[in-house]
Amino acid sequence: MVRPAQRREVVAWARAAYQLSERKACRVVGVSASFLRYRSRRPDQVPLRRRLRELAGVRVRAGYRQLHVYLRREGWVVNHKRVYRLYTLEGLVLKVKRPRRHRSAAVRVGRTAATKRDEQWAMDFMHDTLMGSVSIRILTVIDLFSRECVALVAARHFSGAQVAAILTEASRERRGLPETIRVDNGTEFTSRDLDHWAYWNKLRLDFSRPGKPADNCFAEAFNGSLRRECLSQHWFLGLEDAQRTLDAWKEDYNNHRPHSSLGRIPPAEFIGGGRFTPSPNRLPESHV
- Taking only the tens of pLDDT, the chain with its 288 residues reads 577 888 889 999 999 999 999 999 999 888 888 888 888 777 778 999 999 999 999 998 899 999 999 999 999 999 999 999 999 989 898 877 666 666 554 556 667 889 999 999 999 999 999 988 899 999 999 999 999 999 999 999 999 999 999 999 999 888 789 999 999 999 999 999 999 999 999 999 999 998 888 899 999 999 999 999 999 999 999 999 999 999 999 999 999 999 988 999 999 999 886 444 444 444 444 333
| Global pTM exceeds 0.75 | yes
Return the H-helix or E-strand segment holding 142: strand 134-143
Residue 277: the pLDDT is 47
- Give the whole-angstrom CA distance, residue 217 versus residue 8: 48
Region of residue 91 (phi > 0: left; psi between -120 and 50: alpha; otherwise: beta) = left
- Domain ranges in the chain? 4-37, 46-89, 120-273
Q: Note the pLDDT of residue 104.
A: 54
The answer to whether the beta carbons of residues 267 and 146 sit under 8 Å apart is yes
Distances (CA, A) of 94 to 90, 235, 238, 287: 12, 21, 30, 8
Q: Which pLDDT belongs to residue 175?
A: 78
pLDDT of res. 211: 84
Backbone torsions φ then ψ of 154, nearest 5 degrees: -110, 140
**Fold (topology level) of 120-273:** Nucleotidyltransferase; domain 5 (3.30.420)
Name residue 141's beta-bridge partners: 123, 151
d(CA 83, CA 23): 34
| Per-residue model confidence (pLDDT) at position 106 | 53
CA dist 110 and 90 (Å) reads 48
